[in-house]
Structure 1
Amino acid sequence: MFSDPQMRQKVVAEQPRLPLSYYEQHIPVPDGWDDHPCSYLLFGPPYDDPASEARERGWRVAHLPGAHLHQIVDPAGTARLLLELTVG
């Protein structure tokens, strides 16, 4: 996933170690959350289904070709598209 071994080492070192129970918990969703403008930034095919769901909800969807954690590979491009999604 990372062509630069130093970047990979840095990302691995910064990852929090969370217990399985963290991922199993149910997070309550407040009423009315979905009446706010939302956007979705798609990097690649593994995220096609969530991007389709976002479109169905009326969200703006942008595609930046890449893979998982692409924001580390192309932080400037990712930031540019995120800004475009927030002002457009």
Structure 2
Amino acid sequence: MPHFVYIMASRPGGALYMGRTRNLRMRVEAHRSGLSAHTAKYKIKTLVWFEAHDDFETSLRRERLLKRWRRAWKDALITQANPHWQDMTHAIP
């Protein structure tokens, strides 16, 4: 089972949340249900970017790297894969 690193957003250019999980569908639903205080507070409900990794260590390193990136770099990463910042839940394998 793959490990996912993902970014959710409130709107284009809005608040972001970055995380990692083994079950991306379930985690996105948890965010949308308000089970995460940060995503509930800032109304972060749209999955705008994700990538799959084969193992825990790789996903952990990637998440830590991306969290250190400047906001403009994160926005560019999202825009490159998803120019209109539309929900990508349908693309989860």
Q: Which has the higher contact order (CA 8 A, sep 6+)?
A: 2
The alignment's TM-score, normalised by the length of structure 1, stands at 0.31
Question: Which has the larger share of helix?
Answer: 1
TM-score in terms of structure 2 length: 0.30
Structure with greater strand share of residues: 2
Answer with 1 or 2: which has the greater Rg. Answer: 1
